[in-house]
Amino acid sequence: MSQQGYVATPPYSQSQPGIGLSAPHYGHYGDPSHTGSPPGMMKPAGPLGAAAPGGMLPQGHPPPGPHQFGQNGAHAQGPPLQRFPGPPPVNSAAPSYAPYSPSTRSSYPSPVSTSSVAQLGTQLSAMHVNSYGSGMAPPSQGPPGPPSSTAAFQGPPRSPQPSILQPGSQVLPPPPTALNGPGASPLPPSTHRQDGLPGPAPSNAQYQPPPLPGQTLGPGYPLQQAANYGPQMAGAQLSYPGGFPGGPAQMAGPPQPQKKLDPDSIPSPIQVIENDRATRGGQVYTTNTRGQIPPLVTTDCTIQDQGNASPRYIRCTTYCFPCTSDMAKQAQIPLAAIIKPFATIPSNETPLYLVNHGETGPVRCNRCKAYMCPFMQFIEGGRRYQCGFCSCVNDVPPFYFQHLDHIGRRLDHYEKPELSLGSYEYVATLDYCRKNKPPNPPAFIFMIDVSYSNIKNGLVKLICEELKTVLEKLPKEGQEETSSLRVGFITYNKVLHFFNVKSTLARPQMMVVTDVSEVFVPLLDGFLVSYQESQSVIHNLLDQIPEMFADSNENETVFAPVIRAGMEALKAADCPGKLFIFHSSLPTAEAPGKLKNRDDKKLINTDKEKILFQPQTNVYDPLAKDCVAHGCCVTLFLFPSQYVDVASLGLVPQLTGGTLYKYNNFQVHLDSQQFLNDLRNDIEKKIGFDAIMRVRTSTGFRATDFFGGIYMNNTTDVEMAAIDCDKAVTVEFKHDDKLSEDSGALIQCAVLYTTVSGQRRLRIHNLGLNCSSQLADLYKSCETDALINFFAKSAFKAVLHQPLKVIREILVNQTAHMLACYRKNCASPSAASQLILPDSMKVLPVYMNCLLKNCVLLSRPEISTDERAYQRQLVMTMGVADSQLFFYPQLRPIHTLDVKSTTLPAAIRCSETRLSEEGIFLLANGLNMFLWLGVSSPPELIQGIFNVPSFAHVNTDMTLLPELGNPYSQTLRMMMGIIQQKWPYSMKLTIVKQREQPEMVFRQFLVEDKGLYGGSSYVDFLCCVHKEICQLLN
């Protein structure tokens, strides 16, 4: 199926999906044939370059693209390329994915071909066409025939909105966006959208009207809630009549009429985000009700804990679990929670209360060991309580006894955080400590690679200088005057240098350990010191390090021994801690963990590709295990100038709850700021050490799988050497039994950890979810952002063991399956060709497409293996907000900036068609930030921002904007500050000028467009999914 899925797409494809994005505009309807493409092309052209021409072609043959998608194979090709020249390759690549990829425009070939598809195809095609209109036309249609027709039309370029159409209508409440689908007849629905021309498809998906043109959808909304959107499907694209309305649909509704599948007519993530923000932003969200759906991660609001953990700590893929596993299987919606136990909470929300039960420790259920929480039911006048998780009835310990009031609640209900709050902390007793001894305060060890290149490029000096100031800000517990963290320093190349910085020494002492095969810690006293006490010695040391190695010619480095040394040091000091390793090269020196350059592009696209993501030697895994066992977290700052085997080097940081930072081709004068910000941030961030997390659930289901920066020695205890405020663990649940709607599904996540001051604590988060035997309830309660987080982590974990092709297929299949199930069981009857999406999953296709286009899942030799391994690793620990931004970047027009206001300009969809030559746009995905300058950017803005007279004078080498006194500069920089603020990684700023080579990089982040290295456009993907759904429904 899956494949097919993709395949299916093809049909759409036809539409030129390729165009994808761009297309939209144009094309909407236009069938393929026509050209919508052209337009599309055009744009592309710019960017993509070639495109244009191709574009045209495509139309012609729509097919090409298609292949991609699979099926079509046939066609595929052909034309493909058209668009971009470049793309072609893609196609090739595409195969696999096929679908996506195609170059953008290439539209998918009409490929369609496929039978199955066919039907859709048509429609889609239509849709497509529409949608894209443009160009591609119609591919869809099978390429051939049909499409064209339709497509043609529209051609018109975009008219924007159109598609939607009605959507507004759709608006509907209902959520669902329905895209029409394919099914629909080929023809599309087209839709309604009136606007759009054609009007075809009509909104509601249902319609589907006219195939052709219509694709678009008008949104049809048809459906009630759910989905309607979908209407058309025009290819997905369109289809969705409601197009974007969908989103809006609900709310906004406004759709306008649109025409065919106008890109605007398909559900817009921006719209969804804005709607949620409009309705829930700035309000107080109280967690008093079980199973309520929190605001989106992108919405700012104040959260008040009234018995369930704040969504900042736990988010779920759905807040209503199906009662039975059969239901769960039917829907195929993953049941998962993304837990960020140390999430930062804003200052206007109450910090966690600390509960101290003295020597007896926390009150726990005798049977399941759950901690006292709001889910415990007191009975028998308060003498006993029934555990909400396992139903065991326990005696209340005498010291804890309290009478009950008339509604059976303890009189002290509001006085005890553990009875009334979803999240709180317990003071842990000695029973919860290693060896029953209170832990020592943790330590930070800084380990600097002082091999030749690092000295030469000034990195060592930079680090040493920075440490002098950043150490002043070591994290400390609330009232502490100075941090109780201790610090230590190691430098290394192919041997290790430990430093004695005891406060009584006049100058630091260096101890060289050359026995890297069996590293040991050469000193005890004086290695880990209080920064305050040893400040002068430490400064002395940091001053000297760069000079000490100034003459070194040592190029070789070791790596595993460095980690082992740090771990042994912590072990010797009997404390947990964190290693900060600053490393830059492949560790080739003779030592355990020695690595070879094994970056073999030939493995790409084969079943062995997974090897590239696995560590090269079996040294690192046991090392990580040892680290975790001793509470040693490893954070790695990598400064590679070539292949360094991130997959191997990153393993220990990954498994120990550390962070991996990577700065390619680091240049001190350009990249210092980014690195230093990351370093400061990482040092200062809130962190817990030597943690064990246990997720308990009420009977009927249980946690079965965990993803994140964790190490599991058994199936239940999640061990983490450390966990900081940015790390999230995604937990998947499965049924063991039936759940009851009455008691719901309860989750208690307990994290036992050591604070920065060396106290042992338990952090408890409780969350109650609903259960329902109605699928509709389930779909209503889903959260797409969380779903994508789950899908991303499970896919990225699977990358280690399965061929990428299989993984991609599974993702597409599951997406289609979830939507098909909805369509079949929840949506009101509508034309088969209509794509109907549940409201809560309106943007699932676009996000899923983004995930599929991520370089980790793209098998392309052009992408550096290290970069893929790096991103894979990053995503594994991301929280919901991080993954949302990462997969769907924020793109904001800067030229519309209102210098008098502090609000950011509204984000726009990530598609090239949204850019304009006269504009300046800022794109951010959590790792990178791009400032894109249109060729006709207003000179006054250029002057204001860069202090140069014109576009041509702008120097794109800078990574920081100059600080200028004018309002543009100030506002823009402030804006960038705000955007940066919440993210764990400092984003590297790249200035991109339209039509210059570096723009290629930027384009990869326009995720609704066809990817540079493959990956289909949003529209194409929607078509593909639609087709897949139709197949499932049939």
Partner 1 sequence: MATYLEFIQQNEERDGVRFSWNVWPSSRLEATRMVVPLACILTPLKERPDLPPVQYEPVLCSRPTCKAILNPLCQVDYRAKLWACNFCFQRNQFPPAYAGISEVNQPAELMPQFSTVEYVIQRGAQSPLIFLYVVDTCLEEDDLQALKESLQMSLSLLPPDALVGLITFGRMVQVHELSCEGISKSYVFRGTKDLTAKQIQDMLGLTKPAVPVHPARPAQPQEHPSISSRFLQPIHKIDMNLTDLLGELQRDPWPVPQGKRPLRSTGVALSIAVGLLEGTFPNTGARIMLFIGGPPTQGPGMVVGDELKVPIRSWHDIEKDNARFMKKATKHYEMLANRAAANGHCVDIYACALDQTGLLEMKCCTNLTGGHMVMGDSFNTSLFKQTFQRIFSKDFNGNFRMAFGATLEVKTSRELKVAGAIGPCVSLNVKGPCVSENELGVGGTSQWKICGLDPTSTLGIYFEVVNQHNAPIPQGGRGAIQFVTHYQHSSTQQRIRVTTIARNWADAQSQLKHIEAAFDQEAAAVLMARLGVFRAESEEGPDVLRWLDRQLIRLCQKFGQYTKEDPASFRLSDSFSLYPQFMFHLRRSPFLQVFNNSPDESSYYRHHFARQDLTQSLIMIQPILYSYSFHGPPEPVLLDSSSILADRILLMDTFFQIVIYLGETIAQWQKAGYQDMPEYENFKHLLQAPLDDAQEILHARFPMPRYINTEHGGSQARFLLSKVNPSQTHNNLYAWGQETGAPILTDDVSLQVFMDHLKKLAVSSAC
Could you give phi then psi for residue 102, rounded to 5 degrees? -30, 150
In one-letter notation, the amino acid at residue 1025 is V
Which two tokens mark 798? 């699977």
Minimum distance, C-beta of residue 522 to partner 1, in the bound complex (Å): 3
Site string for partner 1, 912-941 (x = CB under 8 A): ------------------------------
Of the pair 505, 1000, the CB lying nearest partner 1 is at 505
Of the pair 117, 538, the CB lying nearest partner 1 is at 538
* Whether 371 contacts 764, CB under 8 Å: yes
How many chain residues are in contact with partner 1, going by CB under 8 A? 26
Torsion on CA atoms 872, 876, 882, 883, rounded to nearest 10: 70
* Whether 336 contacts 786, CB under 8 Å: yes
* Whether 128 contacts 83, CB under 8 Å: no
Of the pair 506, 952, the CB lying nearest partner 1 is at 506
The piece of 383-391, 543-551, 760-768, 1020-1028 that touches partner 1 (CB under 8 A) is 543-551
Maximal CA-CA distance, the chain? 87
The angle subtended at Cα 875 by Cα 873 and Cα 880, nearest 5°, is 155
Closest CA to 583 of 459, 695, 415: 459
Q: Which of 354, 548, 676, 958 binds partner 1 (CB under 8 A)?
A: 548
Q: How far is CA 741 from CA 289, 318, 322, 731, 744, in A?
A: 14, 15, 9, 22, 5
Q: Going by C-beta distance under 8 Å and a sequence separation of 6 or more, which residues neighbour residue 295?
A: 276, 280, 281, 285, 301, 311
* Whether 568 contacts 519, CB under 8 Å: yes
Is the torsion defined by CA of 913, 133, 886, 275 positive or negative?
positive
Of the pair 504, 955, the CB lying nearest partner 1 is at 504
* Whether 416 contacts 507, CB under 8 Å: no
Minimum distance, C-beta of residue 571 to partner 1, in the bound complex (Å): 13
Minimum distance, C-beta of residue 494 to partner 1, in the bound complex (Å): 10
Which two tokens mark 57? 């072609």
CA distance 371 to 385: 12
62 touches partner 1 (CB under 8 A): no
Minimum distance, C-beta of residue 474 to partner 1, in the bound complex (Å): 24
Minimum distance, C-beta of residue 592 to partner 1, in the bound complex (Å): 15
CA distance 566 to 623: 11
Of the pair 512, 906, the CB lying nearest partner 1 is at 512
Of the pair 512, 960, the CB lying nearest partner 1 is at 512
Site string for partner 1, 171-210 (x = CB under 8 A): ----------------------------------------
Strands, E, within 277-346: which ranges?
A: 284-286, 302-304, 314-316, 320-322, 336-339
Q: CB atoms < 10 A from the CB of 503, how many?
A: 14
Minimum distance, C-beta of residue 520 to partner 1, in the bound complex (Å): 5
Of the pair 90, 513, the CB lying nearest partner 1 is at 513
Minimum distance, C-beta of residue 915 to partner 1, in the bound complex (Å): 55
Closest CA to 762 of 205, 299, 197, 363: 363
Residues 487-526 that bind partner 1 (CB under 8 A): 495, 497-498, 505-515, 518, 520, 522-526
Q: CB atoms < 10 A from the CB of 381, how many?
A: 12
Residues 655-684 that bind partner 1 (CB under 8 A): none
Minimum distance, C-beta of residue 641 to partner 1, in the bound complex (Å): 26
Of the pair 1, 505, the CB lying nearest partner 1 is at 505
Of the pair 545, 786, the CB lying nearest partner 1 is at 545
Of the pair 217, 516, the CB lying nearest partner 1 is at 516
The piece of 255-263, 475-483, 541-549, 907-915 that touches partner 1 (CB under 8 A) is 541-549
Which two tokens mark 439? 């832990």
Which two tokens mark 736? 């063991």
556 touches partner 1 (CB under 8 A): no
Paired sense of beta strands 920-924 and 890-893, if any: antiparallel
Minimum distance, C-beta of residue 538 to partner 1, in the bound complex (Å): 12
530 touches partner 1 (CB under 8 A): no
Q: How far is CA 214 from CA 206, 211, 769, 834, in A?
A: 11, 5, 41, 12
* Whether 575 contacts 758, CB under 8 Å: yes
Of the pair 509, 617, the CB lying nearest partner 1 is at 509
Minimum distance, C-beta of residue 550 to partner 1, in the bound complex (Å): 12
Minimum distance, C-beta of residue 514 to partner 1, in the bound complex (Å): 4
Of the pair 414, 520, the CB lying nearest partner 1 is at 520
Of the pair 494, 805, the CB lying nearest partner 1 is at 494
Minimum distance, C-beta of residue 626 to partner 1, in the bound complex (Å): 18
Closest CA to 387 of 364, 404, 403: 364
Chain position carrying tokens 């000028």: 993
Site string for partner 1, 91-130 (x = CB under 8 A): ----------------------------------------
CA distance 617 to 626: 16
Crossing angle between the packed helical segments 1018-1033 and 804-825, to the nearest 10 degrees:
60
Strands, E, within 894-967: which ranges?
A: 920-924, 928-933
* Whether 63 contacts 146, CB under 8 Å: no
Is the torsion defined by CA of 421, 422, 427, 429 positive or negative?
positive
Minimum distance, C-beta of residue 526 to partner 1, in the bound complex (Å): 7
CA distance 816 to 808: 12
Minimum distance, C-beta of residue 509 to partner 1, in the bound complex (Å): 5
Of the pair 217, 560, the CB lying nearest partner 1 is at 560
Q: How far is CA 106 from CA 8, 373, 864, 1014, 1028, in A?
A: 16, 57, 25, 11, 21
Could you give phi then psi for residue 518, rounded to 5 degrees? -145, 75
Minimum distance, C-beta of residue 442 to partner 1, in the bound complex (Å): 20
CA distance 904 to 737: 48
* Whether 955 contacts 945, CB under 8 Å: no
Minimum distance, C-beta of residue 487 to partner 1, in the bound complex (Å): 17
Of the pair 446, 1005, the CB lying nearest partner 1 is at 446
Of the pair 507, 982, the CB lying nearest partner 1 is at 507
Of the pair 255, 488, the CB lying nearest partner 1 is at 488
* Whether 127 contacts 239, CB under 8 Å: yes
Minimum distance, C-beta of residue 464 to partner 1, in the bound complex (Å): 13
Of the pair 443, 929, the CB lying nearest partner 1 is at 443
Minimum distance, C-beta of residue 525 to partner 1, in the bound complex (Å): 4
User: What residues line the site for partner 1 (CB under 8 A)?
Assistant: 495, 497-498, 505-515, 518, 520, 522-526, 540-541, 544, 547-548
